[in-house]
Amino acid sequence: MKIMVIIRLQGGLGNQLFQYALYRQLLAQGFSVKIDEVSGFVGDRQRRPGLKEAFGVSYEAASSLEVDTLRDAFLDPFSRIRRKLTGRRSKEWEEPDGRFYPEVLAMEDAYLNGYFQSESYFPDPAVQADLAEMFAENIRRRLKNDMSFSDTDAPIPGSAGPVASHPEPPKGPGTVTKSVRESMTDTSDFAGWAARIAADGGRSVSLHIRRGDYLKPDTAETHGGICTERYYEKAVAQILAEVPNAVFYVFSDDPAYAAEWISRHRTAGEGEFRLIAVKDPAQPQTASPAEDHSRPSDNCTQQQRNDVSSASAAPGPNKGSLERDVQSLLLMRCCRHHILANSSFSWWGAWEPGAVPSSSGNTLAGQDLPGSPEPSAPDPEPHPPLLLAPSRWFNNRAFDAIYTDRMRRIEG
């Protein structure tokens, strides 16, 4: 009889990718594994299962009966009385912290409740290759159909012009220069941005600035004060020391702040920067859906399960926002070098880039880009990929397993 394991899907898009990677690893090991795509989103008004819609992946979803059996979570009177008399017989394993626990890959009949943010949870080379191909295929698909979520007055893919809906630049001291303001855009012109990144070849660098919910007091205690101004200054300096003509593509959930940050660096003559804003201009800016480690209530009724399932099946008002997040992550992966924030969104944008631009600058993930600009600085032997990450991921818990041996850790 095959081993039954259920993985709880929860958190934002980056978190869900880690849980899906573990799912793929356990499948490769021959386990009977399913995903609970309901319990982790009960009471969560900001997030929902997004992998199928975002990346077109498939997985076997666990039924409420299977989940309740492994967790001993039946709410009928007999089960309640029995638990009071004999205790709970749950086979739930909850991740204590961000260290790697190898027993997760060998558990029998378990309900896995955690984030599993480590490459060590999916070490199989075939699994890693499949994940890289998943990202590459999504890049190819969007290059073929990049206008699906674009503004009506967006330029032809491959052109250098900006699209509509520029965020309002900050006023007063430190006002953003015209050149920075004109580069501010959403990511709907996917092929256009991909063409620019491809043209820069081995010079392209993704730089992720995560703010949003990280500035809130309850989140700042765990995530705040890590990716400081000093961290980004040191990371940019290290890139420029090894790739002197680097072009930095800046991704942020706070485009106005990012534009002002770029303006300061441009004034100092510290490299070339281009801003790609990830915020959906049609939605108010709230806590980012990319990553959160709060856990929703475990007291999940059948009606609450039904509510989550219905919300997941419906397109929802944030479909455009989800697509823009996905496009941003994929554009990060198109870059050769990476400066990460302490965010799982950054991590997946930099992990094992499956779409490194060629030195010729006109091919990306196996997709020709007609109309792309000529490479601005051909580099026949590009520098090996650089992955720079903050020296710590959390302020108040062990979280070392998230770092790969290919990352350089930078003190903030």
pLDDT tens string 92-128: 999 999 999 999 999 989 999 999 999 999 999 999 9
Mean pLDDT of 6-18: 96
Helices within 29-161 (DSSP H only) = 51-55, 64-71, 77-86, 125-144
63 Cβ contact partners less than 8 Å away, ≥ 6 residues apart: none
Q: Do residues 13 and 329 make contact, with C-beta atoms less than 8 angstroms apart?
A: yes
Q: Burial level of 295, CB count in 10 A (0-12/13-18/19+)?
A: middle
Q: How high is the pLDDT of residue 317? A: 40
394 pLDDT exceeds 80? yes
* Whole-angstrom distance, CA of residue 249 vs CA of residue 247: 7
Which SS3 state, helix, strand or coil, does residue 262 take? Answer: helix
Mean pLDDT of 166-181: 38
Going by pLDDT thresholds of 50, 70 and 90, the confidence category of residue 365 is very low
Note the pLDDT tens digit of each residue in 181-199.
444 444 448 888 999 999 9
Helices within 29-63 (DSSP H only) = 51-55
Regarding pTM above 0.85, the answer is no
Q: What is the DSSP letter of 352?
A: S
Q: How high is the pLDDT of residue 77? A: 72
* Whole-angstrom distance, CA of residue 198 vs CA of residue 359: 8
Q: How high is the pLDDT of residue 351? A: 95
Mean pLDDT of 139-167: 48
Mean pLDDT of 276-289: 42
Q: How high is the pLDDT of residue 163? A: 30
65 pLDDT exceeds 80? yes
* Whole-angstrom distance, CA of residue 65 vs CA of residue 329: 35
151 pLDDT exceeds 80? no
Query: For the chain, how many helices (H) and strands (E)?
Result: 13, 12
Going by pLDDT thresholds of 50, 70 and 90, the confidence category of residue 378 is low
Q: Do residues 365 and 355 make contact, with C-beta atoms less than 8 angstroms apart?
A: yes
* Whole-angstrom distance, CA of residue 236 vs CA of residue 238: 5
DSSP β-ladder status, 367-368 and 363-364: antiparallel
**More confident of the two residues 63 and 377:** 63
